[in-house]
Structure 1
């Protein structure tokens, strides 16, 4: 099982494209696996005949485990490798598979530590709420640098600044309240089994509500100038860059700038510690053809202009619709936005995307008569209006911070620079 992301320790087998006895070409897809919400293809490292398949569909397999054996038809080959003493050795191999295994055995200590963690170490890490990144940073005292139980416990004694990805746990207290009965009419109602992604979303949402005391603030903003600028430039943008100019990159830009002014909204909670993130990575909730949602991430959004953000947003959205997102495309977000206006909603009360502490929902943009103050006094005119709603974790974000941040996002949208060139 190949490593498919910095924080990925295992993957679920979705489907084998070949069976035992089948011939497969090198780089041809051997199986499909799922990591978190992303499906990936695993190519064969060699050409040959499959002699053994060790795991079946729906099995969860650790990174580094042997998935299958392939008998290569390649002849003997000479390979020069570096042994544990740093000396060059020439060996003869009868197949590419054996060459790959030999290379695998001569990996340096850091590579072995990154790729192989025993079930015992993983179990201890889960109990102690250690993230995969933390575990892999622990120096191993075992053979070839393997991490042992004593290494983890020694690390825990001196642990000062843990950065963890807490596992989803059920913290609900037992209750005597009877579960409501569901009326099911045979032949009229039907049962639909949740797919894997829907189960993960359900677990994540329940975990978020149980973990963070949610508070939601609302703000109405006048985005007339922004809408006019976009309408004037969307055709030029399409002609010049071959890309659509949607509102999403403008929203991301406004949020990223507001986070720079209020960095304590860009944090995570670890017990009694607040982890303030330096990077501003904006996640955007994207609807999939299946009806599920996935959050792809624009990394370091504060360092990019609207043109760069627009290209990245379009690419991520396209990959999400075609199921081509990579594991790193959905990792590392520090703040999330959800454009509920896409579905015609006036506003929403979004659930925080853990381990973040806030999420912004953007409602539909609607034209309405509004009273504005001009040089002539108060006048009624048609304006493009939109509601923003910010859900935040009241453990670390109070009303002042949440309200001030939301107001700054609104100001950034209302005061959008209409001289911005594309």
Structure 2
């Protein structure tokens, strides 16, 4: 019995996933629990395990395809008999064709060709591949009521509908549409050409037929360099009579690089735009003397080193001080709910403190969460911080490690940044931006006398949602944070 494997929902906020790498080939035997495919969510890469024993009949989603949660990505059988790609049965046979092909057969060949060429159907690459594999005209799927652009799920749904009407279960064929003497289905000349997105874009802009380039290419995808070389040859053949001083588009293309937007980068951008356009930000800055905080950190660190535990970092101390201050100022540890329990806008104050820590990784900026930071000791916070930052950089975070923060800290001090203002994460009312510690002259009062000393000063900035709290509330929180860090023994 065949079973469909769909794009899994690997986190509360996941809406789509990108297929990175299949661990098995079509026809391979797969045991339940074995890594089947690596999927990139909007935040982390995860190996999705096979939900049952069986054989991988067909891969529907190729590497690089981005699909919504619930979309079919593969077909597996129940493991009772091995199925290889060579055993697959063609969807379209000599005796019975799908309803869409029967309908097209009643139209003259010339009209069919002209119709398909003049009215291309917007579709995702995965949908086009599936339609070609199953031998389905994209126009037939569009006419069935599917919403444009067509996705892989639309193709599979159409296959299921036509299979039920015909009374048989159809399988995709290795060669695509079976030829019939009465009908020829014309497709776009670039449909069967494998090309990079950049190459397709340049070809579309300059009306270049990719099939011409593919015919002169030994193997592999058509790349940007292939298209640009073809365009350069075409421009040279034109041989303008007068020299044109302007630089050609090809030369401009050589001076730049186009990098596809990853799902993570796209999601970050969407959330930042959402926050900055809906939440009126206010910014509050304060200088904190870190003299006593550094002494406290070193004293505690020396006692922990005897137990084999490293000295807590400044970030760990910041987390503890922030958690304590948030308990005393719950306005900052809150969420604006557009529709509250009584059907009106409301502010939800959280009794727990979950602090997100911005971590820079090779892939993107991630914000793993330290849960119940207000209940943890400095040593426990330091251990939690070490664990989540290592997991973020190694790519082993779980989706649940990245959700649920009630407050965020972003520390760019290690990069030499003195001060900056951060954008509030959606669902929170504030974020703390931390700069580097610098030695500065400070006036120290000692009774009736004053003297100047060089002290380690750290500047922090609070970005707050003015819908949830005003400047006074944010200032009181910062004042409390400053007190805890300048006299850290108050919070121990």
**Is 2:290 the partner of 1:283?**
no
What SS class does the counterpart of residue 459 from structure 2 fall into?
A: strand
1:209 to 266, 271, 276: 276
What SS class does the counterpart of residue 264 from structure 2 fall into?
A: helix
User: Residue 57 of structure 2 aligns with which residue?
Assistant: 51
1:403 to 456, 470, 475: 475
Measured after TM superposition, the shift of residue 194 of structure 1 is 2.6
What SS class does the counterpart of residue 263 from structure 1 fall into?
A: coil
Counterparts in 2 of 1:45 and 1:270: CA distance versus 1, 3 Å:
closer
What SS class does the counterpart of residue 279 from structure 1 fall into?
A: coil
For residues 61 and 257 of structure 2, the distance between their equivalents in structure 1, rounded to whole angstroms, comes to 33
Measured after TM superposition, the shift of residue 418 of structure 1 is 8.8
Measured after TM superposition, the shift of residue 35 of structure 1 is 2.8
Q: Are the aligned partners of 1:229 and 1:418 in contact in 2 as well (CA < 8 Å)?
A: no
1:62 to 69, 94, 112: 69
TM-score norm. by structure 1 comes to: 0.68
User: Residue 364 of structure 1 aligns with which residue?
Assistant: 436
Greater shift in the superposed pair: 236-245 or 16-25: 236-245
**Is 2:258 the partner of 1:191?**
yes
For residues 470 and 277 of structure 2, the distance between their equivalents in structure 1, rounded to whole angstroms, comes to 18
For residues 289 and 244 of structure 1, the distance between their equivalents in structure 2, rounded to whole angstroms, comes to 26
1:306 to 378, 383, 387: 378
What SS class does the counterpart of residue 228 from structure 1 fall into?
A: helix
The size of the alignment, in residue pairs, is 312
Measured after TM superposition, the shift of residue 288 of structure 1 is 0.5
2:318 to 237, 241, 251: 251
What SS class does the counterpart of residue 272 from structure 2 fall into?
A: helix
- State how 1:29-44 maps to structure 2 within 5 Å: 29-44=35-50
For residues 432 and 34 of structure 2, the distance between their equivalents in structure 1, rounded to whole angstroms, comes to 42
For residues 37 and 191 of structure 1, the distance between their equivalents in structure 2, rounded to whole angstroms, comes to 22
User: Residue 307 of structure 2 aligns with which residue?
Assistant: 240
- Work out which of the two has the higher radius of gyration on C-alpha atoms and give 1 or 2: 2
Counterparts in 2 of 1:244 and 1:61: CA distance versus 1, 3 Å:
farther
For residues 254 and 335 of structure 1, the distance between their equivalents in structure 2, rounded to whole angstroms, comes to 13
2:414 to 342, 357, 369: 342
2:488 to 401, 407, 416: 416
More strand by share: 1
Counterparts in 2 of 1:308 and 1:212: CA distance versus 1, 3 Å:
same
User: Residue 333 of structure 2 aligns with which residue?
Assistant: 266
Q: Are the aligned partners of 2:41 and 2:263 in contact in 1 as well (CA < 8 Å)?
A: no
Q: Are the aligned partners of 1:215 and 1:391 in contact in 2 as well (CA < 8 Å)?
A: yes
Counterparts in 2 of 1:263 and 1:67: CA distance versus 1, 3 Å:
farther
Counterparts in 2 of 1:68 and 1:247: CA distance versus 1, 3 Å:
farther
1:27 to 33, 36, 55: 33
- State how 1:136-155 maps to structure 2 within 5 Å: none
Measured after TM superposition, the shift of residue 300 of structure 1 is 1.1
Q: Are the aligned partners of 2:312 and 2:378 in contact in 1 as well (CA < 8 Å)?
A: no
Q: Are the aligned partners of 1:244 and 1:314 in contact in 2 as well (CA < 8 Å)?
A: no
Measured after TM superposition, the shift of residue 17 of structure 1 is 1.9
Counterparts in 2 of 1:419 and 1:240: CA distance versus 1, 3 Å:
farther
Structure 2: stretches of 5+ with no match in the other structure: 1-6, 82-248, 339-344
Measured after TM superposition, the shift of residue 322 of structure 1 is 0.3
Measured after TM superposition, the shift of residue 268 of structure 1 is 1.3
For residues 12 and 419 of structure 1, the distance between their equivalents in structure 2, rounded to whole angstroms, comes to 45
User: Residue 289 of structure 2 aligns with which residue?
Assistant: 222
What SS class does the counterpart of residue 229 from structure 1 fall into?
A: helix
Measured after TM superposition, the shift of residue 382 of structure 1 is 2.0
For residues 239 and 41 of structure 1, the distance between their equivalents in structure 2, rounded to whole angstroms, comes to 39
Counterparts in 2 of 1:402 and 1:63: CA distance versus 1, 3 Å:
same
Q: Are the aligned partners of 1:51 and 1:71 in contact in 2 as well (CA < 8 Å)?
A: no
Measured after TM superposition, the shift of residue 48 of structure 1 is 4.2
**Is 2:86 the partner of 1:14?**
no
Q: How big is each residue's C-alpha offset from its partner over 1:351-397, in whole Å with a ceiling of 9 and x where there is no partner?
A: 11111111001110112221101247211122111001001111221
**Is 2:455 the partner of 1:388?**
no
Q: How big is each residue's C-alpha offset from its partner over 1:301-333, in whole Å with a ceiling of 9 and x where there is no partner?
A: 111111111111100000000001101100000
User: Residue 323 of structure 1 aligns with which residue?
Assistant: 395
Counterparts in 2 of 1:67 and 1:273: CA distance versus 1, 3 Å:
farther
What SS class does the counterpart of residue 405 from structure 1 fall into?
A: helix
Greater shift in the superposed pair: 319-328 or 270-279: 270-279
Q: Are the aligned partners of 1:50 and 1:71 in contact in 2 as well (CA < 8 Å)?
A: no
For residues 396 and 417 of structure 1, the distance between their equivalents in structure 2, rounded to whole angstroms, comes to 31
**Is 2:267 the partner of 1:200?**
yes
Measured after TM superposition, the shift of residue 9 of structure 1 is 5.8
For residues 280 and 201 of structure 1, the distance between their equivalents in structure 2, rounded to whole angstroms, comes to 23
User: Residue 155 of structure 2 aligns with which residue?
Assistant: none
Greater shift in the superposed pair: 15-24 or 315-324: 15-24
Q: Are the aligned partners of 1:52 and 1:70 in contact in 2 as well (CA < 8 Å)?
A: no
